[in-house]
């Protein structure tokens, strides 16, 4: 990650885990509220309920700033300021957010505990810059930042375990939409709650973890206590998406996951092979093709490009007009998109009519259902599995058990026996 763009999304679920940190944050909150009154920023003290909200916001901000100090380099904290985000109601309402959240940032900035770096702005749908703040040296007068003990912080479960979003944007922060509770949504939430309970008690660590933390691909902290999951549906449609999110292993770089230890053991990555096109053939009620679906030319030429293009076509809403990101470089110079699509459609005629129909979002829902069931069945066997889209991460000694469960579930749900489950042992 470019240091010039190194920032972390504020997470409202961080709290003090140790009594020492809790006491330090309480003293810090007292100092802030006293200053509000003595400086004239407030004419009267907050009511008890409002004071509680202010202190919760201060605690969450303090924990986030402590974690920032534990990262490599000079990272900044991206804080939300939009009205729609801070004043959500119903199931997505978070006690950290509201005017008290903005007040906490403002008084911390006035007292030079934090500095405001940039105010968020949007230049286009793809280029957005969040509001950034960072802690100053004065913050160490109240918080244990020398060195920052990130192990004194914990993350509590999200208020909502089932989230329905309007779309699926690039940074995963599409707005959430409210929904009416049904027996099905309650069942889904129950699944996630049980999964989180199992993960919370599991022996999961990151080998070689030091006092310095990494920032993951999702701009969240990579720490072993970040294992509370939630399920996200896309495009305001229960049949779209449904993938799990929130686990630290999901934001780790692929090569870094080899450092994960479950029950003290290195992990194995057990994943479905070519799942989406196999699903598409099931949907088309067509016979599964032999061999590698993505090997269009039969010699592995441009395989990565064909894979990206096929999956982009499955998710596209209508004809694909431009090359998907990171795809064209896998093809010979001068390759035209229309020619590549024609070649792909000829090779996989049975599923070509499904291109451009957004089927991929339906297949993602199917994938998430299977992985959640696989994780549940493994937990019954006493196996801790970290779900990862179309795969699970398990201790090496449980890799074969996971492979068996995954293959059995795939066949039970689809009657497709051609797709394989691969075990990759992280060196």
Q: Which residue has the higher pLDDT, 2 or 387?
A: 387
| Residue 283 located in a structural domain | no
For residue 412, pLDDT beyond 50: yes
Q: What average pLDDT score do residues 403-421 get?
A: 82
Mean pLDDT across the chain: 89
| Residue 395 located in a structural domain | no
Q: Give tens-digit pLDDT for 197-230.
A: 999 999 999 987 666 788 888 889 898 989 999 9
What's the confidence (pLDDT) of residue 50? 93
For residue 3, pLDDT beyond 70: no
Q: What average pLDDT score do residues 366-380 get?
A: 96
Phi, psi for residue 251 in degrees, rounded to 5: -100, 0
| Residue 144 located in a structural domain | yes
Residues 6+ apart with CB under 8 A from 129: 118, 120, 121, 122, 123
Q: Which residues of 138-165 are buried (b: 16+ CB within 10 A; e: fewer)?
A: ebeebbebeebbbebbbbebbbbbbbbb
| Residue 233 located in a structural domain | no
- Local confidence band at 5 (pLDDT 50, 70, 90 cut-offs): low
Q: Which of 117-121, 190-194, 423-427 shows the lowest per-residue confidence on average (mean pLDDT)?
A: 117-121
pTM: 0.86
Residue 329 CA to residue 314 CA, distance in Å, equals 20
What's the confidence (pLDDT) of residue 126? 45
Residue 134 CA to residue 141 CA, distance in Å, equals 15
For residue 374, pLDDT beyond 90: yes
Residue 107 CA to residue 310 CA, distance in Å, equals 52
| Residue 128 located in a structural domain | yes
Number of structural domains (the chain) is 1
Q: Give tens-digit pLDDT for 77-90.
A: 999 888 877 888 88
| Residue 39 located in a structural domain | yes
What's the confidence (pLDDT) of residue 417? 66
Print the domain residue range for 120: 1-156
Percent of the chain with pLDDT over 70: 93
Q: Give tens-digit pLDDT for 281-330.
A: 999 999 888 889 999 988 999 999 999 999 999 999 999 999 999 999 99
Q: What average pLDDT score do residues 162-181 get?
A: 77
What's the confidence (pLDDT) of residue 94? 92
Residue 238 CA to residue 163 CA, distance in Å, equals 10
What's the confidence (pLDDT) of residue 305? 95
| Residue 49 located in a structural domain | yes
H-helix or E-strand spanning residue 310: helix 303-315
Q: Give tens-digit pLDDT for 120-141.
A: 544 334 445 688 999 999 999 9
For residue 263, pLDDT beyond 70: yes
Q: What average pLDDT score do residues 334-350 get?
A: 95
Strands ordered across the beta sheet of 162-164: 162-164, 230-233, 241-245
| Residue 139 located in a structural domain | yes
Q: Give tens-digit pLDDT for 224-260.
A: 989 999 999 999 999 999 999 999 999 998 889 999 9
Cβ 426 vs Cβ 253: under 8 Å: no
């Amino acid at each position: 990650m470019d240091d010039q763009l190194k920032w972390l999304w504020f997470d409202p679920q961080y709290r003090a885990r140790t009594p020492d940190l809790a006491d330090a944050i309480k003293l810090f909150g007292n100092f802030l509220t006293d200053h509000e009154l003595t400086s004239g920023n407030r004419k009267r003290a907050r009511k008890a309920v409002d004071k509680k909200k202010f202190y919760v916001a201060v605690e969450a901000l303090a924990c986030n700033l402590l974690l920032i100090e534990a990262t490599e380099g000079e990272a900044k904290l991206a804080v939300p300021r939009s009205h729609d985000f801070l004043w959500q109601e119903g199931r997505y309402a978070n006690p950290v957010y509201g005017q008290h959240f903005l007040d906490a940032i403002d008084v911390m900035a006035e007292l030079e505990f934090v500095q405001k770096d940039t105010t968020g702005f949007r230049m286009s749908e793809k280029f957005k810059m969040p509001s950034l703040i960072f802690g100053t040296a004065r913050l160490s007068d109240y918080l244990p930042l020398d060195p920052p003990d990130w192990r004194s912080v914990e993350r509590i479960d999200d208020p909502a375990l089932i989230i329905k979003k309007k779309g699926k944007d690039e940074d995963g922060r599409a707005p959430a939409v409210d929904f009416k509770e049904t027996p099905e949504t309650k069942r889904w939430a129950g699944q996630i709650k049980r999964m989180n309970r199992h993960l919370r008690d599991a022996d999961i660590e990151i080998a070689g973890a030091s006092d310095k933390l990494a920032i993951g691909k999702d701009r969240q902290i990579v720490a072993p206590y970040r294992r509370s999951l939630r399920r996200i549906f896309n495009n305001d449609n229960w049949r779209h998406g449904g993938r799990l999110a929130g686990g630290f292993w999901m934001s780790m770089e692929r090569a870094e996951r080899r450092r994960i230890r479950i029950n003290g053991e290195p992990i194995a990555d057990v994943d479905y092979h070519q799942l989406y096109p196999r699903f598409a053939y099931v949907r088309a009620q067509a016979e599964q093709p032999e061999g590698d679906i993505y090997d269009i030319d039969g010699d592995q030429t441009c395989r990565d490009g064909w894979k990206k293009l096929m999956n982009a076509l499955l998710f596209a809403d209508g004809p694909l007009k431009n090359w998907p990101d990171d795809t064209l470089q896998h093809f010979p110079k001068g390759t035209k998109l229309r020619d590549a699509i024609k070649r792909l459609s000829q090779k996989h005629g049975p599923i070509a009519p499904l291109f451009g129909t957004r089927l991929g979002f339906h297949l993602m829902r199917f994938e998430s259902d299977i992985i959640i069931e696989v994780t549940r069945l493994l937990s019954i066997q006493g196996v801790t599995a970290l779900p990862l889209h179309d795969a699970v991460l398990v201790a090496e000694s449980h890799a074969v058990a996971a492979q068996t469960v995954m293959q059995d579930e795939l066949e039970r749900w689809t009657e497709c026996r051609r797709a394989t489950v691969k075990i990759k042992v992280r060196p």
